[in-house]
Amino acid sequence: MNLDYIIPNNWSIIEEEFNPDQVKASESLFSIGNGAMGQRANFEERYSGPTFQGSYIAGVYYPDKTRVGWWKNGYPEYFAKVLNAPSWIGIDVFINEEALDLFKCKKVENFKRELNMKEGWLLRSFNATLQNNLEVEVVVKRFLSLDMDELGVISYSVKPLNASANITYQPYIDSGITNEDSNWDDKFWDTLSVSQKDTSAFIQAKTMKTEFYTCTFMESELFYNDKKLNITPDVDKASTHIAFAYSTKVNQGDVLSIHKFGGYTVDRNHDKYELVTAAKAVLDKAKHLGFSALLENQKQAWARIWDMADITIEGDVKAQQGIRFNIFHLNQTYLGTDARLNIGPKGFTGEKYGGSTYWDTEAYCIPFYMATKDQSVARNLLEYRYNHLQKAIENAEKLGFSNGAALYPMVTMNGEECHNEWEITFEEIHRNGAIAFAIYNYHRYTGDYSYIPEKGLEVLIAIARFWHQRATFSTDKNKYVILGVTGPNEYENNVNNNWYTNYIAKWCIKYTVENIERIESEFGIDYTRIMNKAKLSKSEIKDWMEVAEGIYFPYSEKHEVFLQQDGFLDKELITVSELDQSQRPINQKWSWDRILRSPYIKQADTLQGFYFFEDHFSTHELEQHFDFYEPFTVHESSLSPCVHSIQAAKLGRMNQAYTFYLRTSRLDLDDYNHEVHEGLHITSMAGTWMSIVEGFGGMRVKNDKLTFEPKIPEQWDAYSFKVNFRHQIIKVNVCKGHTHFELEGKHDLEIIVNGKTILISPNNLVTV
């Protein structure tokens, strides 16, 4: 770990010191979101120290013109950027005309931040001594409403401690913002109007190129010792900024508070000409309810989420804090209520990875959402890709494929590819496999086959076509090969016969054909419709199967393992443990060629295949591969430790599983990869959930039944989780020596625990 300042706590993320060097990290860690918008933990008042400002609106992005030295045919014309949105949180605070700025204060004491995950709010408090020697106590609480997802709420109070003072609150909204990652301080927002109505303010702005229309709004109320004040503010209006100044004298020991309501209305939800009207309605409702009622609603909304999604861990507060941090941020990022949205790798906590959707969604996030939400949420995520099928076909055409073959983009906002490194964009094609696997996984878990004849099979056919065309025949090997790919381990580029890619390609074709056959026999009408629409013939299917059956897998007889790719054994096989620690992380220390020719693995690659297709291999085979590859794995991808934790648990290596669990669950809290200041790793947080449920709990679905092989790390006294399985909720509570199962539902359910069938009945505790 690289940071160790977060105070362990079961339900809260807590920081108890003000350290300018860790402000950016904390801005990430204490981020808040509500699925529709997000806000880094930037201070409301001025701050002149190093900071990374970030306000984000779901689905609002910018197609930045890409510029690379040497253009390659087929590159997309833009690289999507997560956009820093107009700021709604700002409140300048002047105390006897000195601006409050923690970077400039003489003294800052009792500084505390708390992100209360149980109730969904962020608190900050401190005592500060200003340059003018006035001492003040400041308390700030804010949250993004789950109930009203266009609304954010702030309560900000100042108490002068050593003298009376004139205090001015100057709440503002501002659209003159830039992205931290912009190359030349480019502006991405075009401000259309700045307007005021009484004590409300509105800035209408649209994004350039994409023309997303937004209205950023605010209104404020002042309180003197909880008594509402009616002060007419001075208004300061500029081309991209509007501020109201409220000034009053505050006696020593009294408290002046401001409640600021703000947020965004966007044209995804309203007519673009009605955004101010919609904003007014939000403000009216917010004022009517008031801060306390809104906060109470927030607590209740989070209580409903936790009731289903919580995982408890007893006896290990850091582990408990870690898993809740993961579950909390996943729910802040994506609630599954809008099928047009998806789960960005950094959620609403940073700009990096400029697109919202990666294969992370299918490979890592879907199991979490299937088990902790209604299954319609997972189906929404599948439909997101179904809706992008035509664009995936066009994407494949740009790369020379034909006949309806689809290559889903590596990174996308709207179905188009928006990333341009040839080794990723063109070659990291295994992503197509994850999209097919998610369809399989959804059906396996939910038992809902209807998605496949209705929509999924069209996606599968297009993917099977891609693999059929992408494989080529090697006369030298007398096998089909897949040349020039990047596997999940992105520390290898343009390799031949990546085992994972070849394996999932074969699986995709075979799974597609199985479904075609099933639909032919069970869903005749759908079958005819789909075959006609796809212009698919039996002879084409036969051609696919020839490739699937004839595909090559590199294998080492000596090591008894499949090789990650052709030539893997030519590397200098020096394990990570033998590597000088000063060289880590290698992605920050080594040039790319050195990384590529090394044996080091960024994240599970061959082992990712063993995770997806566990049933295809024996435990002995898993062990062979784990022991061969894990020692070369640097886990510099956030997606790596969770898969390794699950596999270590399966192999009964509980200490190793526990270490990987801590690494995945506290990846950001402890900043393992030196990058938390850039934002959090949201999608891997779903992997953390899997490492408990699938890893320690050993949960699988086999033949339409939930199965468990519960294990518990020796560091824990007990842990529990709930899963929603086919409209019933199973609560699993694992203690040392026994496991309790409870069913919230209406029908008896057979589950399999350690190989034995157990019947559980509604509201009846079963202990195994």
Is the Cβ of residue 65 or residue 736 nearer to a copy of itself in the bound state? Answer: 65
- In the complex, what is the shortest distance from the CB of residue 557 to a copy of itself, in angstroms, rounded to a whole number? 11
Amino acid making up residue 713? P
Q: Of these, 79, 369, 467, 632, which contacts a copy of itself (CB under 8 A)?
A: 79
597 binds a copy of itself (CB under 8 A): yes
560 binds a copy of itself (CB under 8 A): no
Q: Of these, 253, 400, 524, 652, which contacts a copy of itself (CB under 8 A)?
A: 400
Site for a copy of itself in 626-645 (CB under 8 A): none
403 binds a copy of itself (CB under 8 A): no
Give the contacts of 155 (CB within 8 A, at least 6 positions apart): 139, 140, 141, 142, 257, 258, 259, 291
- Residues contacting a copy of itself: total by CB under 8 A: 52
The region of 85-93, 172-180, 495-503, 540-548 touching a copy of itself under the rule CB under 8 A is: 495-503
Question: Would you list the DSSP string of 79-107?
Answer: EEEEPPPPB---EEEEETTEEP-TTT-SE
The region of 112-120, 240-248, 582-590, 740-748 touching a copy of itself under the rule CB under 8 A is: 582-590
Length of the chain: 768
Question: Where do we find the tokens 């197509």?
Answer: 432
Other CB atoms within 10 Å distance of the CB of residue 448 = 14
Is 603 labeled as ligand-binding?
A: yes
Q: Is residue 673 within 8 Å of 21, Cβ to Cβ?
A: no
- The catalytic position among 490, 492, 630, 742 is 490
496 binds a copy of itself (CB under 8 A): yes
Q: Is residue 274 within 8 Å of 150, Cβ to Cβ?
A: no
Q: Residues 696-735 vs a copy of itself: string with x where CB under 8 A? A: ----------------------------------------
Of 708, 741, 736, 692, the closest CA to residue 320 belongs to 692
Q: Is the dihedral of CA 604, 605, 608, 614 positive or negative?
A: negative
Q: Of these, 99, 192, 245, 399, which contacts a copy of itself (CB under 8 A)?
A: 399
Q: Of these, 589, 616, 705, 727, which contacts a copy of itself (CB under 8 A)?
A: 589
Is the Cβ of residue 198 or residue 572 nearer to a copy of itself in the bound state? Answer: 572
Site for a copy of itself in 448-477 (CB under 8 A): 472-477
The region of 196-204, 317-325, 584-592, 603-611 touching a copy of itself under the rule CB under 8 A is: 584-592
The region of 255-263, 434-442, 458-466, 564-572 touching a copy of itself under the rule CB under 8 A is: 564-572
Q: Residues 267-286 vs a copy of itself: string with x where CB under 8 A? A: --------------------
Question: Where do we find the tokens 């999932």?
Answer: 504
Of 304, 755, 746, 752, the closest CA to residue 764 belongs to 746
* Two tokens, residue 669: 């809290």
The region of 23-31, 41-49, 70-78, 691-699 touching a copy of itself under the rule CB under 8 A is: 70-78
Site for a copy of itself in 184-213 (CB under 8 A): 184
Of 697, 657, 659, the closest CA to residue 367 belongs to 697
Q: Of these, 591, 618, 703, 763, which contacts a copy of itself (CB under 8 A)?
A: 591
Other CB atoms within 10 Å distance of the CB of residue 583 = 15
578 binds a copy of itself (CB under 8 A): no
Is the Cβ of residue 444 or residue 559 nearer to a copy of itself in the bound state? Answer: 559
194-198 contacts at long range (C-beta below 8 A, 24 or more positions apart): 194/237, 194/238, 194/239, 194/240, 194/241, 194/242, 195/242, 195/276, 196/235, 196/237, 196/242, 197/280
494 binds a copy of itself (CB under 8 A): yes
Q: How far is it, in rounded angstroms, from Cα 522 to Cα 602? A: 43
555 binds a copy of itself (CB under 8 A): no
Is 602 labeled as ligand-binding?
A: yes
Q: Of these, 70, 226, 737, 756, which contacts a copy of itself (CB under 8 A)?
A: 70
Q: φ, ψ for residue 87 (rounded to 5)?
A: -85, 135
19 binds a copy of itself (CB under 8 A): no
Q: How far is it, in rounded angstroms, from Cα 87 to Cα 72? A: 37
Other CB atoms within 10 Å distance of the CB of residue 399 = 17
The region of 72-80, 379-387, 704-712, 758-766 touching a copy of itself under the rule CB under 8 A is: 72-80
First CA to last CA across the chain, in angstroms? 37
Is the Cβ of residue 167 or residue 482 nearer to a copy of itself in the bound state? Answer: 482
Q: Is 293 left (phi over 0), alpha (psi -120 to 50) or beta?
A: alpha
Q: How far is it, in rounded angstroms, from Cα 115 to Cα 223? A: 24
Q: How far is it, in rounded angstroms, from Cα 234 to Cα 524? A: 71
484 binds a copy of itself (CB under 8 A): yes
- In the complex, what is the shortest distance from the CB of residue 483 to a copy of itself, in angstroms, rounded to a whole number? 4
573 binds a copy of itself (CB under 8 A): yes
- In the complex, what is the shortest distance from the CB of residue 567 to a copy of itself, in angstroms, rounded to a whole number? 5
Q: Beta 766-767 vs 738-744: how paired, if at all?
A: antiparallel
Alpha helices (H) along 598-679:
606-612, 619-629, 640-650, 654-665
Amino acid making up residue 248? T
Q: Of these, 8, 49, 74, 315, which contacts a copy of itself (CB under 8 A)?
A: 74
DSSP state of 707: E
744 given a catalytic annotation: no
Q: How far is it, in rounded angstroms, from Cα 594 to Cα 571? A: 11
Q: ω into residue 585 within 30 of 0, thus cis?
A: yes
Q: Of these, 5, 223, 224, 422, which contacts a copy of itself (CB under 8 A)?
A: 422
Q: Is residue 84 within 8 Å of 154, Cβ to Cβ?
A: no
755 binds a copy of itself (CB under 8 A): no
Q: Return binding residues.
A: 359-360, 602-603
Give the residue numbers annotated as catalytic, written as ranges.
490
Residues that bind a copy of itself (CB under 8 A): 66-70, 72-74, 79, 183-184, 398-400, 419-423, 426-427, 472-477, 481, 483-484, 493-497, 566-567, 569-573, 587-594, 596-597
Q: Return binding residues for substrate.
A: 359-360, 602-603
